[in-house]
Amino acid sequence: MTPSEAHASVGGGFQKARNLLVTTPAATTPRKTALYSIHRKMGAKMVEFGGWEMPLEYAGILAEHHAVRTRAGLFDVSHMGEIEIRGPGALGLAEWVTCNHVARLRAGEAHYSGLMTSRGTFVDDLLVHKLSDTHYLLCVNAANQDRDFEHIAGQKHGDAEVENAGVRYSQLAIQGPRAKEILGRLTPVALDSIHYYHFTFGKVSGADCLIARTGYTGEDGFEIYFHIEFSEALWSSLLEAGQSFGVMPCGLGARNTLRLEAGMRLYGHELDESTTPWEAGLDWICKLDKGEFLGSKALAQQRQRGVEKKLVGFEMLGKRIAREGYPVFVGGRQAGGVTSGGPAPSLGKNIGFAYVPPQASAPGTALEISIRGQVEPARICQIPFYRHPRPTTPH
C-alpha cells in the first residue's frame, strides 16, 4: 500500500466528522477527545490543557512515568492538531512556513520542525510527515491548531490546499521499551521496518492507521493516527494487548515529566513567538541553506549577530524544586527565568529549562534560582537529561 492511497481510507469518515464540528460547544468550554467518557470511567483525574479537557493522571504521575521508562504507557493525545497540505505546491508551502528542510524528507519520513513567523520566531513546533510529493501531514500543538492553520493558509504560496484536519483524527501514543511488542500483537505491519522518525500505513485491530515511530517521552514507541470513530476500540485493544506487559494508561502529568527528562521543548514554555530556533538550542532544525523561507532573513541576521538569550537545562543541587517563572541569577545578577521545572523521577533529582545569557550558558555553569524568595544553587547540565538507547539512529 502506498502512503497516499492508504491515507484516503483514514480520512474516509470526513463527512461524519464534520457534523461533529456543528455540535462542538462554545470555545469557552474545553473540548473533549473521543475518549473523554472512557477516561472518566477509568477514574482519571482530568485537567484543562490547551483548550481541551484531558487526563492528568490515572494511577499517579510517578507510577505512570516509571511504567513508560520500564514497560509501556498508553496516552490519549487526540488533542494534538493535524493540518494537511495537498497539491502540487504542497512542498513549496511546507518549505516556506517551516524552518527544517522539507525537501530532504522521503515519503514515509517525518521530522521535527518549527512553524515560523516573519521574525524567525515560533508560531508553533511540529512534526512534518511526508505522505507523498504532493501531500504532507503536520502534527501541531492542541492550543495552536487553529492559528497554525490560519497562519499557513494565509500564506497563499503556490498551488496548495490546506486543511485543518484535527477534527477527523484521534491519536494514541504507545511508549516504552515494550511498546513494539504490544502494538505488534494488533497489527500485521512489520514494526521493526519502521525506523525512528519514519511511518507507514496499516491496520491496527482492523482500523486504518498511520503508524509513526515517534514520541514525546525519550523512549522507543509509536504514535498512531486514525479516524475518531476507532478511538474506543483502539484504546481498549491496546490496553488489553499490553496488560501482560504491564502497560499503564498515562496522563499529561507523566507526559510532562517524561518529555522534560528527555530534554524536549514544550510550546508556551521553552518556545513561543518571542524565541528563535537559535535561542532555543534547536539549530539542528533550522536550515538556512535550504533557500528563503518565512523568517529566514531575520534568522540569518541573528545567526551573524549572535543571540541574547540561550535555553539551557539545569539541575538543582538541593532538594527544592524550581518551577516555571522562578527568576534565575548568574553571579548575583538576575539573568533569566525558568521555563519548565520539576522532579525528574528517573534521575532522582530536580531539573528544568531556563533562558540565560549566552556567555553563561556552558554546561557546568553555576546558577542561582530564587524559590519563593530563597536563593537555591543549581548547575547547567547537558540536554537531554535522560537518554534511552534508540533502536535506530535518527536522521
Partner 1 sequence: MYPADFRYTKDHEWIRLEGAVGTVGITDYAQQQLGDVVFVELPKPGARVKAGESFGTIESVKAVSELFSPVSGEVAEVNASLADSPEAVNRDPHGAAWLVKIRVSDAKEMTALMDSAAYQVYIAEKAKETPA
User: Minimum CB separation from partner 1 for residue 322, in Å?
Assistant: 11
> Rounded to a whole number, what is the distance in angstroms from the first to the last CA of the chain?
24
User: Minimum CB separation from partner 1 for residue 314, in Å?
Assistant: 17
- Burial of residue 118 (number of CB atoms within 10 Å: 0-12, 13-18, 19+): exposed
> Any contact of residue 317 with partner 1 (CB under 8 A)?
no
- Stretch 30-59: interaction string toward partner 1, x if CB under 8 A: ----------x----xx---------xx--
Angle (CA) 128 53 313, round 5°: 55
Cell of 248: 499503564
Q: Cβ contacts of residue 166 below 8 Å, gap of 6+?
A: 80, 81, 82, 83, 145
Angle (CA) 268 84 53, round 5°: 45
- Stretch 331-360: interaction string toward partner 1, x if CB under 8 A: -----------xx-x---------------
User: Which residues 252-271 are close enough to bind partner 1 by CB under 8 A?
Assistant: 253, 256-257
List the beta bridge partners of residue 220. none
User: Which residues 122-141 are close enough to bind partner 1 by CB under 8 A?
Assistant: none
Q: What is the DSSP letter of 176?
A: S
User: Can you give the length of the chain in residues?
Assistant: 395
User: Minimum CB separation from partner 1 for residue 343, in Å?
Assistant: 5
Q: What is the DSSP letter of 248?
A: E
- Helix H or strand E encompassing 64: helix 61-70
With contacts defined by CB under 8 A, name the span among 20-28, 196-204, 209-217, 316-324 that binds partner 1.
316-324
> Any contact of residue 3 with partner 1 (CB under 8 A)?
no
User: Minimum CB separation from partner 1 for residue 56, in Å?
Assistant: 7
User: Minimum CB separation from partner 1 for residue 45, in Å?
Assistant: 5
With contacts defined by CB under 8 A, name the span among 81-89, 264-272, 320-328, 384-392 that binds partner 1.
320-328
How many angstroms separate the CA atoms of 259 and 384, rounded?
Answer: 9
Residue type, 46: M
How many angstroms separate the CA atoms of 308 and 68, rounded?
Answer: 37
User: Minimum CB separation from partner 1 for residue 155, in Å?
Assistant: 38
User: Minimum CB separation from partner 1 for residue 371, in Å?
Assistant: 9
- Count of positions on this chain that bind partner 1 (CB under 8 A): 19
- Stretch 61-90: interaction string toward partner 1, x if CB under 8 A: xx----------------------------
- CA count, 13 A, side-chain hemisphere, 290: 23
Residues that bind partner 1 in the complex, under the rule CB under 8 A: 40, 45-46, 56-57, 60-62, 253, 256-257, 319-321, 323, 342-343, 345, 372
